[in-house]
Chains A and B, each alone.
Chain A
Amino acid sequence: NAGVTQTPKFRILKIGQSMTLQCTQDMNHNYMYWYRQDPGMGLKLIYYSVGAGITDKGEVPNGYNVSRSTTEDFPLRLELAAPSQTSVYFCASRRGTGRNQAQHFGDGTRLSIL
C-alpha cells in the first residue's frame, strides 16, 4: 500500500501566486487532515474532513481552501501566496470513530514563498 501520498515534495512560489497541494490516500479512510509544521511550533491543523463532501476549519484556516469530492483525495489550495505561508505541509488520514484513531501521515510538501 502506498498509504498517504503528497505531491509535490518541494515548491517555490512567488508572492501572490496560487497553487494546489495534492493529497491522496488508498486506505479508504474517512477522516483526512491538513497540517502545517513550522520550526519549534509543532503541527497546526489547517482543515479537516470527516468524509466526502464534508470539510471544516482547524486552528489556522486563513489563506487556505479545501475540497473533498472523493474519499481518496483532499487537495489544499493557496489562492494568494504570502511569505507567512512558507512552511512544511502534511496531509494525514485515519479510519472513522472508534478506538483506532492513529493518523497516518504523508511525507510532506516543503513550500517556500518568495
Chain B
Amino acid sequence: AQSVAQPEDQVNVAEGNPLTVKCTYSVSGNPYLFWYVQYPNRGLQFLLKYITGDNLVKGSYGFEAEFNKSQTSFHLKKPSALVSDSALYFCAVSPYGNNRLAFGKGNQVVVIP
C-alpha cells in the first residue's frame, strides 16, 4: 500500500526567504507524485505533479518540486515566499496506473511579513 509522510506540522518562513515543504513516500513500483494547496474554507488546488522525466518539476505560482528516487522524496520549494503563500500544503502519491491517491497529513505554511 502507498503512504506519504510530511514530517513537519507547521513551516514558518519570513517573506522573501526560500520555502521548503518536505515529503517522503512509500509505494510499489514507479510513483505518480502530486502537490496540492488548500486555502481556508476551500477545496484542494493542484500545484504540480511528477509522472516521469526531469526530476525538477515546475508548477503554479512559482512553486517547484524535486523528485529524488533514492531518497523517496518529493520536496516542494519556492525561492522567495509571499505572505499569500500561507496555506495548507498536501503531498500525495499514486502507483503507476492506480486510480487512488494517498495523501499526507498536510503542512501548514505561515509566511511572516
Binding site for B on A (CB under 8 A): 4, 31, 33, 35, 40-43, 45, 48, 50, 58, 90, 92, 97, 99, 101-108
Contact = CB atoms under 8 A, between A and B. Distances in A.
Contacts of B9: 40
Query: What is the interface of chain B mostly: helix, strand, loop, or mixed?
Result: loop
Contacts of B105: 40-42
B43 A50 contact: no
Nearest to B43: A105
Nearest to B47: A102
A107 B99 contact: no
B44 A105 contact: yes
Interface in B21-71: 32, 34, 36, 41-46, 49, 51-52
Given A40-B9, A90-B43, A104-B46, 8 more contacts: A31-B99, A40-B105, A42-B103, A45-B101, A50-B99, A107-B43, A108-B42, A108-B43
Contacts of A35: 103
A47 B101 CA distance: 12
B97 A102 contact: no
Bin the interface of chain B by size. 20 to 34
Contact of B97 (A31, A33, A97, A103): A97
Contact of A42 (B32, B43, B104): B104
A102 to B, nearest CB: 4
B90 A107 contact: no
A39 to B, nearest CB: 9
Contacts of B41: 107-108
Contact of B51 (A33, A41, A99, A104): A99
Given A45-B100, A58-B100, A101 B49 contact: yes
28 contacts: A4-B43, A31-B99, A40-B105, A40-B106, A41-B105, A42-B105, A43-B44, A43-B90, A43-B103, A45-B100, A45-B101, A48-B100, A50-B99, A90-B43, A90-B44, A97-B97, A99-B51, A101-B32, A101-B94, A102-B46, A103-B46, A104-B46, A105-B45, A107-B41, A107-B42, A107-B43, A108-B42, A108-B43
